[in-house]
Structure 1
Amino acid sequence: MEVIWFVVFAVLLAGYFALEGFDLGVGLLLPVLGRTGAGRDRMVAAVAPYVLANEVWLVAVAGTLFGVYPLLEGEVLFGLYPVVVAMLLSWVLRDAGLWFRRRIDGSRWRGFWDAMIAFGSLGLSFGWGMALYAAATGFASSPVHPLGLMLGVVVTLLFALHGWTFLAWRAPGEFGAARSGRALLLSGVVAALPAAGVLAGAMPYLLEHSAPAATLNVLSVMVLPVAPIMVGAQLWVWRTFRPGKDAFRLPSFF
């Protein structure tokens, strides 16, 4: 049962990097590719249908982490406290920007919230790199380490590449390139590599710190039956909003 839940946790974390990675990547590229207000509107509209569905994966990752590996909760929250707080603030700013940017007309209003989207995306991307480094060292080293900062840069660049590939798939030619679904799948795999690498190295440690078998059995009964619904909803989103399906329609909650 410990191995099964490790696989579930690994799939959720890698899936989050592969899916939320292009959301954050588009946010990172907002000041680069969105030279005009209309261009930024199109970028946000292209990614909008996927944002909330992708964030569900982070909720699932957190729930699985603290449910399956309860002994790690203190280590994660204590060892990564400044990084976790910064990432939560970045998350709030990014989502606030997506919700508020079109609530009031005016270039200054939209420009401010567009900057918050980019800043929040940068904070989340960079923070994930630092958190992965700390996890790889068993939370024995500070995430503010040259290698941690370097991994933050790597994750940020991978997410930006993934976001650019997503835009080229979702709206071919609109932002200077066109990419196939296979290219998007490949960039998603590349974006998930840092998380997959850390998990592969941490597998023995995680298996030793799993919750008791009775707890895992209860979690299996409660959680695993819901997994097909989550996967089905994700597939529905991708099928409904594939290229050519209202790529630039602005959703009402933006």
Structure 2
Amino acid sequence: MDLLAVALLGFFTAGYFALAGADLGLGLLLPFLGRDRADRDRIATALAPYFLGSEVWLVAAAGVCIGCFPALEGELFTELLPVLVLLLAGWVVRDAGLWWRVHGGGAPDVLICAGSWALVAAWGWAVAELLDATGAVRVATIAGTVLLFAAHGLGYGALRLTGEPYRRARQLAGSRGGGQTFALTGTVLAALPLLAGAGLPLRENAAQGPVLGLLVPALTAFVPVLVAAQWWLWRALRDPSRRTPFFF
């Protein structure tokens, strides 16, 4: 049962990085792909339907960590407290920018971009901490994580954007096109948290007693529902004309 709990934690975390990396990557690139209000509206329309669904994967991963590995969760949250502060700040700022776009103006777009940068930098910092990277290696790890998220957002943009933002994303994505770029960067992003957390003593710190017996079957039953919902959302909104402009 403890091995299945570890697998669930890895699955939800990898899924979050691969899926949320798309909308976070677009947020990083907002001022580069969106040169005017109309362009930024297209970008917001492309990422808005997915960001809440992506965050469900992070909530699920946090639930597994807190419920199935309570002792290790306490140690990690204490050691990574500065990272978590930056992570939560970026999360709030980015999401606030998306919801406040309905009021118009340029400030919400600044919040989306700044929050995305803070979130991605925080994830890079967390990866560096888990890998015990120091000095120049730490800086390179954070910078590499940011570039990976940006590349993933670029591949996603080359698949789902329209108008001038699509043209710019397609040019930057290179000759392989959006699909191959998105698949490659998504695979690497999914593997990144698994690599960073490979050294954690998860099985040794798994909860005892009936906790795993209750949580793991419930979470396992939730997996096909989450995957099916995510697949439906992705398929249903392939056509740009079916995306509702929620935030403007």
Tell me the TM-score normalised to structure 1 length: 0.87
User: Which amino acid in structure 2 is aligned with residue 196 of structure 1?
Assistant: L
Q: Which moved more, 1:209-218 or 1:169-178?
A: 169-178
User: Which amino acid in structure 2 is aligned with residue 195 of structure 1?
Assistant: P
Distance 1:119 1:5 in 2: 34
The equivalent of 1:60 in structure 2 is 60
> Residues 13 and 57 of structure 1 are in contact (CA less than 8 Å); yes or no, is this contact kept in structure 2?
yes
Name stretches of at least 5 consecutive residues in structure 2 with no aligned partner: none
Deviation by residue 1:122-179 (Cα, 9 ceiling, x = unmatched): 1110101111222234xxx8xx854333222111110000000001011367233173
User: Which amino acid in structure 2 is aligned with residue 240 of structure 1?
Assistant: A
The equivalent of 1:200 in structure 2 is 198
Q: How many residues align?
A: 240
The within-5 A match list for 1:116-155 is 116-137=111-132, 146-155=136-145
User: Which amino acid in structure 1 is aligned with residue 121 of structure 2?
Assistant: F
The within-5 A match list for 1:149-168 is 149-168=139-158
> Residues 42 and 161 of structure 2 are in contact (CA less than 8 Å); yes or no, is this contact kept in structure 1?
no
> Residues 27 and 118 of structure 1 are in contact (CA less than 8 Å); yes or no, is this contact kept in structure 2?
yes
The equivalent of 1:7 in structure 2 is 7
SS in 2 for 1:185: helix
Deviation by residue 1:101-137 (Cα, 9 ceiling, x = unmatched): 2324xxxx2x211111111101110101111222234
Kindly indicate whether residue 212 of structure 2 is the aligned counterpart of residue 216 of structure 1. Answer: yes
The equivalent of 1:75 in structure 2 is 75
The equivalent of 2:39 in structure 1 is 39
Distance 2:241 2:101 in 1: 20
1:180/1:134 Cα in 2 relative to 1: closer, same or farther (>3 Å)? closer
Distance 1:30 1:71 in 2: 39
1:80/1:128 Cα in 2 relative to 1: closer, same or farther (>3 Å)? same
> Residues 46 and 247 of structure 1 are in contact (CA less than 8 Å); yes or no, is this contact kept in structure 2?
no
> Residues 12 and 61 of structure 1 are in contact (CA less than 8 Å); yes or no, is this contact kept in structure 2?
yes
The equivalent of 1:225 in structure 2 is 221
Identity %: 40
Q: Which of 176, 183, 186 matches 1:185?
A: 183
Name stretches of at least 5 consecutive residues in structure 1 with no aligned partner: none
Distance 1:194 1:48 in 2: 25
User: Which amino acid in structure 2 is aligned with residue 131 of structure 1?
Assistant: A
Deviation by residue 1:67-104 (Cα, 9 ceiling, x = unmatched): 11111222122111121111101100000000102324
The within-5 A match list for 1:9-24 is 9-24=9-24
> Residues 42 and 162 of structure 2 are in contact (CA less than 8 Å); yes or no, is this contact kept in structure 1?
no
Which structure has greater helix proportion?
2
> Residues 25 and 161 of structure 1 are in contact (CA less than 8 Å); yes or no, is this contact kept in structure 2?
yes
Q: Which moved more, 1:214-223 or 1:170-179?
A: 170-179
SS in 2 for 1:201: coil
Deviation by residue 1:176-202 (Cα, 9 ceiling, x = unmatched): 317354442222112223212113333
Distance 1:78 1:32 in 2: 37
Q: Aligned-residue CA RMSD in angstroms?
A: 2.1
Distance 1:36 1:117 in 2: 15
The equivalent of 1:169 in structure 2 is 159
Q: Which moved more, 1:149-158 or 1:49-58?
A: 149-158
> Residues 28 and 118 of structure 1 are in contact (CA less than 8 Å); yes or no, is this contact kept in structure 2?
yes
The equivalent of 2:231 in structure 1 is 235
CA drift of 1:212 comes to 1.4
